[in-house]
Amino acid sequence: MNRFDDLPQAADTGDDGGNVDITSQGQAPGMTPGTAAAQSGLGTLTSDLGILYGGDYNPEQWPAEVWREDVALMREAGVNLVTLGVFSWARLEPRPGDYDFDWLDEVLGLLHTAGIAVDLATPTASPPPWLGLRWPETRAVTRDGVRLSHGSRNHFCPSSPVYRERALGIARALVERYGAHPAVRMWHIGNEYGQVCHCDLCGAELQAWLCRRHGTIDELNRAWGTSFWSQRYDDWGEIVPPRAAPYLLNPSQVLDHRRFVSDQLLALYLEQRDLVRQLAPGVPVTTNFMGFHHATDYWRWAPHVDVVADDVYGDPADAQSPAMLALTHDLMRSLAGGGPWMVMEQAAGAVNWRAHNVPKSPARMRLDSLRAIARGADGSCFFQWRASAFGAERFHSGMLPHAGPDTRLHRAVRAHGAELRLLAPVLGTRVEARAAVVFDWSSWWAAEEPAQPSDRLRVMAQMQSYYRPLWQAGVAVDVAPPGADLSGYDLVVVPQLYLLDDADAQNLRGVVERGGVLLLGPFSAVADRDGHVRQGRFPVPFADLIGASGEEHCPLPDSGAPVASDAIWDFTAHMWAERLRLEGGEAVAEFMGADLEGCPAIVRRPHSSGGEAWYVAATPPQQVLDEVMRQCAEAAGVRGVLDHLPDGVEAVRRGPVMFLFNAGSEERKVALPGSFHDLLTGAHHAGAAHLPPEGVVALIERTS
């Protein structure tokens, strides 16, 4: 039986046939896909442990005498959860079928005695050398036909029957031995799923997936447009994964392959998850997401984890990092259906994998951790507990540095563990949002295929540009797929949604029809779900809604194009423009100059419902986009946590607690509408709060 036969079927809504069902069940209006399990799974831990705090622990890298020191230092630091065994397959099974669990028995016993819970991993992300040497087909093949070797990690083929059999074997042995162990409070399947393989085994699974998705070979030929370049197929067996070719590949074929890869990895996760649920019922099961990870569509994955957990690594050298971290946290909260989630990995100091690894200061470590808590996380964990002495990650920071506990970093780790216990009032609470930013993985994949009008218009750059003004204003934002229930949002922002099916387009139109504000960014609704360009004046599903229509996408020369606006101010658009004409809408800004003279650059159209539709047919400077967003938010009646936030101050309200962050290097004064108590320091703030550089307060209103 093909593994995809057991996956839940997609609802009949025009969604991808043969893929995992991402339809929401029992969610409040306005919530994005997530599950009650994702909230209750985390709640079973936090009800006993409080906010989760800890990190990956790799005792197999250390002699046994170090373990007791580690556990003692963990207790002093307030650690209550460690992830164990992620990369321990070769230690647990040094030879096929020969298991060594004695060391793990001892480590689990030490942790349990100390009151530290364990998130026990199935170690299947990094197979031992013996697997690939005895069975070479278990190693992945690149698009160029090169079979990867052992010696690193993530080198397995997701389709290999031998790999899957051996992976299930070590997983079964672990769960049978530790499924009822009192220390094991959560199971962690694999690690950072993102492997792509182009071998013949994966080709056979791709063919089966395509058959399920399209039904007939004729439908596949239609969806892929195989009349172009003589690519017609007569049999499923003729189809191969997108491999090295002399020129451009069929973009519809590549899009389907990306969908397949995400589903293929999800099926791999589900095999082990189902085994754990069978043998250890009632214990939450998860795996670690990676933010806006390109290879995996987390809208499809989220309903299948009991805890939404994320690996997030902000760059302290990047001034834009705080906003990107906030956006990523908002995505995770949205994947959890608006409920709590957790950070599974982050850096306490420096990472090892950038070209130039600027370390976090202890204040920045604290700021990043608390930002996640403010945006819905009920757990803040790190990679890793003790910095490795050898291997590829020996210069990746740990909560316990090479220099030992008498260090600035470890003192900050201990202090942070203590202060997290003070934030009990936020446990299980939500961040209530009336604004949503729309994002879709399939659209991201399709928009950035080669042979587009420009390779400079990047989806994540657009996402950040449209999100940033809301973040700066302290407006709570959910991230939603285009098919989500949007009825709870007064402002819906679509930064760039190149690919859009008809049902989702109608769903977005409904925002305006019920009186909300819809803001569409450039190069949106260009293609249908197969990647075929929609015929007619663009954006075809929204031209009447925005009161304008376009005929040509116009990437700009480096000099840009001048734009005049009485409603905002004059500016120069760079990189991108579109040739539009007004058809009932209002030109908020117009291009000037010979080629685009008089064409609207920004369009607004009010509707009788009281709603508004906006379309930005350019890439304006950030300050112009900030003003557009301010006007849209004002029209929608959406406001931030506080009015008139100083530059560089981030504000988030979670439940009864208002968090204020200062990521800058200068003190900031924030006006407050009343008297507040800071949960972190015990200080009282009446009328204003003074935030030191890299400072944060967690304010709860005083009632007396």
Catalytically active residues are 192, 345
User: 274: Cβ–Cβ under 8 A, 6 or more apart, which residues?
Assistant: none
* Three-state DSSP class for residue 67: helix
User: 514: Cβ–Cβ under 8 A, 6 or more apart, which residues?
Assistant: 487, 609, 611
> Alpha-carbon distance 353 to 355, whole Å?
7
> Alpha-carbon distance 613 to 519, whole Å?
6
Question: Helices 102-113 and 64-77 sit at what angle, rounded to 10 degrees?
Answer: 30
The alpha carbons of the chain give a radius of gyration, in whole angstroms, of: 26
> Alpha-carbon distance 538 to 96, whole Å?
59
User: 218: Cβ–Cβ under 8 A, 6 or more apart, which residues?
Assistant: none
**Cis amide linkage into residue 539, ω under 30° from 0:** yes
* Closest listed residue to residue 190, CA positions, set 272, 267, 124, 264: 124
> Alpha-carbon distance 339 to 345, whole Å?
19
> Alpha-carbon distance 298 to 55, whole Å?
23
* Closest listed residue to residue 437, CA positions, set 341, 343, 330, 513: 330
* Closest listed residue to residue 475, CA positions, set 337, 323, 373, 340: 323
> Alpha-carbon distance 110 to 107, whole Å?
5
Give the sheet arrangement for strand 612-616, strand by strand. Answer: 477-480, 435-438, 491-494, 517-520, 612-616, 600-606, 586-591, 561-564, 571-573
The torsion defined by the Cα of 464, 465, 466 and 467, in degrees rounded to 10, comes to: 40
**Helix or strand run (H / E) with residue 614:** strand 612-616
Q: For the beta carbon of residue 96, count every other beta carbon within 10 angstroms.
A: 12
CB 463 within 8 A of CB 372: no
Q: Tokens 């690690």 sit at which residue?
A: 191
Phi, psi (deg, nearest 5) at residue 77: -85, -5
> Alpha-carbon distance 110 to 466, whole Å?
49
Q: Which two tokens stand for residue 472?
A: 């700066």
The single-letter code of the amino acid at 484 is A
Q: Which two tokens stand for residue 127?
A: 């197979």
CB 613 within 8 A of CB 493: no
* Closest listed residue to residue 699, CA positions, set 685, 645, 322, 372: 685
Q: Tokens 């451009």 sit at which residue?
A: 248
> Alpha-carbon distance 452 to 445, whole Å?
12
CB 699 within 8 A of CB 677: yes
> Alpha-carbon distance 146 to 66, whole Å?
41
CB 293 within 8 A of CB 349: no
Is the torsion defined by CA of 509, 511, 513, 519 positive or negative?
negative
CB 624 within 8 A of CB 574: no
> Alpha-carbon distance 92 to 158, whole Å?
21
> Alpha-carbon distance 528 to 534, whole Å?
6
Q: Give, in order, the Cα–Cα distances in Å from 287 to each of 27, 164, 305, 384, 676.
A: 23, 17, 7, 16, 38
